[in-house]
Amino acid sequence: DTITGPYGPRKFAGRFLGHGTPFNDMNGKWWCTAFFNGNVPPESRDGVVSRNIGDNARTINEQGVTIVPLDVRVLDNGEVSIRAKDPAYATPGPDEVQEFGP
């Protein structure tokens, strides 16, 4: 366990959370910061789960900081699972170029 690795494969935590910072609040709940990204207005949340918006760094985050609730748990195999709870953030969109395992 060193900063130089080795590392396992990348895992998906949430859509629109790039450069976000996960944190644990005083009540033990997990959250992630999310930010406006790009030079275009934010997209509507309606139907965003299945919409391809990868053409120009689009996001649903308004300018400023958005706080997204996370589900953080240690699985039976010892791996840490992190996933956004909000359905608009919880799954990769059709514009996601990477393949993620379960």
Question: What pLDDT is attached to residue 21?
Answer: 94
Residue 100 counted as domain residue: no
14 touches 70 (CB < 8 A): yes
Q: What is the pTM of this model?
A: 0.82
Residue 85 counted as domain residue: yes
Task: Tell which residue, 65, 69, 64, has the closest CA to residue 89.
Answer: 69
Residue 79 counted as domain residue: yes
Helix (H, G, I), strand (E, B) or coil at 97: coil
Residue 66 counted as domain residue: yes
- Rama region for 5: left / alpha / beta (φ>0; ψ in -120 to 50; rest): left
Question: What pLDDT is attached to residue 30?
Answer: 98
Residue 72 counted as domain residue: yes
Question: What pLDDT is attached to residue 102?
Answer: 63
What is the side-by-side strand order in the sheet with 22-24?
22-24, 30-35, 65-74, 80-84
Residue 96 counted as domain residue: no
Amino acid at position 73, single letter: R
Residue 3 counted as domain residue: no
The total of structural domains in the chain comes to 1
Residue 9 counted as domain residue: no
Question: What pLDDT is attached to residue 62?
Answer: 87
Q: Per-residue pLDDT for the chain (102 aa), expressed as one digit of tens each? A: 789 999 888 889 999 998 899 999 999 999 999 998 777 888 888 988 888 887 777 889 888 889 999 999 999 999 999 999 999 999 988 888 777 766
* Range of the structural domain that residue 65 is part of: 22-90
